[in-house]
Amino acid sequence: MRGKAGLKSNEYILAIDVGTQSIRAILIDPRGNLHDIVKTPIEPYFSEQPGWAEQHPDYYWKTLCATCRKLLASTKIPKGFIRGVTMTTQRDTMVNVDRNGKPLRPAIVWLDQRRAGKGSWPNPVLKAALRAMKLLEAVEYTITESESNWIRENQPEIWEKTHKFLFLSGFLTHRLVGEYVDSTGCTVGFVPFDYKTQAWAKPSDMKWKMFPMNPSLLPALVRPSEMLGYITKQASTETGIPAGLPLIAAAADKACEVLGSGCMSPEIACLSYGTTATVETTNTKYVEIVPFIPPYPSAVPGAYNTEVMIYRGFWMVSWFKREFGMREELIAKKRKISPERLFDELVADIPPGSMGLMLQPYWSPGLKIPGPEAKGAVIGFGDVHTRAHIYRSILEGLAYALKEGAIRTEKRNGVKIERIRVSGGGSQSDVPMQLTADIFDLPTERPHTYETSALGAAIDAAVGLGFYGDFPAAVKAMTRIGKVFEPVPRNRDIYRELFEKVYLKLYDRLKPLYEDIRQITGYPPQR
């Protein structure tokens, strides 16, 4: 093992980040510096039916190949200086392959909203017991959310031909190294996985009843920072990556974001202002923030990420741009700047609290908090309000929801959150960063790079390749703070009152109306 002092100046890690909206290939050195990056936008999904979200697995692979080839053709860094490869991907996107590794159907993307039937399990006695423990709804929700259950029910011929049932990470790993193997850190979804032990569930575990399948359908698992295999000649031909380079296990994109932001303990909360907005902490203890909803595997082996998720997070910003921001989109294109920059200019003069406009960001229903009846809401409209007020209220509403999640996290962890770190697309803008600091009343830190997911994967690789002897040393060397936003006292006071006196009461007061709307209109549909 080599410590920091033994690092060479000509060593690099190739980090591949397969997200929802783009695929990135980045060369990162063991000090956490990003040298070259190629980003290729992708279509997140296509829909053959309302609520469906699918994408062709080979589309991801071909785009990954093209992205890597472009990076390696354009960089001035010799291929011989690359010591290893690592990869992080979107979570819970599932692929069925046959014995030749060929996809049998489009991947079901994590945004998909189809539902399987509840099945014949559990039996009436167990169902009554689960109902008494207030777990039946969660169990039935999990069963209906399972992609494997839906395929088995609706496409039995596909399920019969399935040789392996893989996460997108496992599918792409197989293409790179020729082995059916995946990282425990990528195993986040509706499969028979024991989140507490971070291994496939024991035969006696009821998860095999919830997701019936032959264990042979699942890949072998290794822990983050361990070896997945070596780049094959075929993969080298298609990607341009030198054959024989080791592929080091990382974790799913959210877990890598947390690690790449330097969040190693529950005192630091990592907010992700990405497509999905989340508040996460890293803990060595297994803690369920919501009963029956497990913490996910961390990018640090053996650790856990507690998570509270706002399903349609910064997706709402994209929604706003699409529905109300055509003017800014056109101006931004002419000025060759991002539309977000113009929106930031728009809201710069909007006072904290958006002059009474309050948004509840439940654009998608939940399970418990919020419940399946949940809807989004905007209250407090007056004749002074403009698009700019709506935009700011979206940012504030997301921060309120994440603060509520952080409070629940603190209570369950038994640890006070002292600092906030923000990653994801929203972290690039000063406006959401400042209002987050004001709403949380905590120093809010922007990591030195926006590419925290790729950096987290590179940290896993740096430990696995022996650049550092442990994760604390790697995190200390490879992560740092770019800018800190301190709460503004006057803004903090306004937000505190709005949060405590208005936001925290919104859901309980609107819930009966949401239930009535659902009953009358049928939306969101009953599970």
Give the pLDDT confidence of 493-515 residue by residue, as tens digits.
Answer: 999 999 999 999 999 999 999 99
pLDDT at 322 over 90: no
Tell me what the mean pLDDT of segment 224-239 comes to.
Answer: 98
| Residue 209 burial (CB count, 10 A) | 16
Who wins on pLDDT, 339 or 456? 456
Who wins on pLDDT, 47 or 50? 47
Pick from 162, 438, 432, 184: which is nearest to 300 by CA?
Answer: 184
Tell me what the mean pLDDT of segment 263-269 comes to.
Answer: 96
The per-residue pLDDT for 338 is: 79
The per-residue pLDDT for 527 is: 60
Contact present, 52 and 60 (Cβ < 8 Å) = no
Distances, alpha carbon 389 to alpha carbons 87, 385, 386, 443, in Å: 39, 6, 5, 25
Kindly report, residue by residue over 282-314, the tens digit of the pLDDT. Answer: 999 999 998 888 999 999 999 999 999 998 888
Residues 6+ apart with CB under 8 A from 456: 88, 250, 251, 255, 256, 257, 258, 259, 260, 261, 299
When pLDDT is cut at 50, 70 and 90, the band that residue 488 belongs to is very high
Q: How far apart are CA 108 and CA 45, in angstroms?
A: 9
Who wins on pLDDT, 65 or 345? 65
Q: How far apart are CA 299 and CA 404, in angstroms?
A: 25
The per-residue pLDDT for 271 is: 96
The per-residue pLDDT for 396 is: 97
Here the tokens at position 339 are: 């539309």
The per-residue pLDDT for 4 is: 46
| Residue 48 burial (CB count, 10 A) | 8
Of 40-44, 476-480, 522-526, least confident by mean pLDDT is: 522-526
pLDDT at 15 over 90: yes
Tell me what the mean pLDDT of segment 102-126 comes to.
Answer: 92
The per-residue pLDDT for 186 is: 98
Output the CA torsion sign for 180, 185, 186, 191. Answer: positive
Tell me what the mean pLDDT of segment 218-233 comes to.
Answer: 98
Residues 6+ apart with CB under 8 A from 228: 173, 176, 177, 179, 181, 182, 183, 222, 246, 247, 248, 249
pLDDT at 46 over 90: yes
3 state DSSP class of 383: coil
The per-residue pLDDT for 6 is: 59
The per-residue pLDDT for 256 is: 97
The per-residue pLDDT for 2 is: 46
Question: What domains does the chain contain, in order, with CATH numbers?
Answer: 4-249 (3.30.420.40), 315-415+494-517 (3.30.420.40)
Whole-structure pTM value: 0.93
Residue with tokens 């035969």: 203
The mean pLDDT value of the chain amounts to 94
The per-residue pLDDT for 313 is: 86
pLDDT at 524 over 80: no
pLDDT at 413 over 90: yes
pLDDT at 492 over 90: yes
Q: What percentage of the chain carries pLDDT values higher than 90?
A: 79
pLDDT at 5 over 60: no
pLDDT at 42 over 70: yes
Tell me what the mean pLDDT of segment 74-90 comes to.
Answer: 97
Tell me what the mean pLDDT of segment 475-484 comes to.
Answer: 96
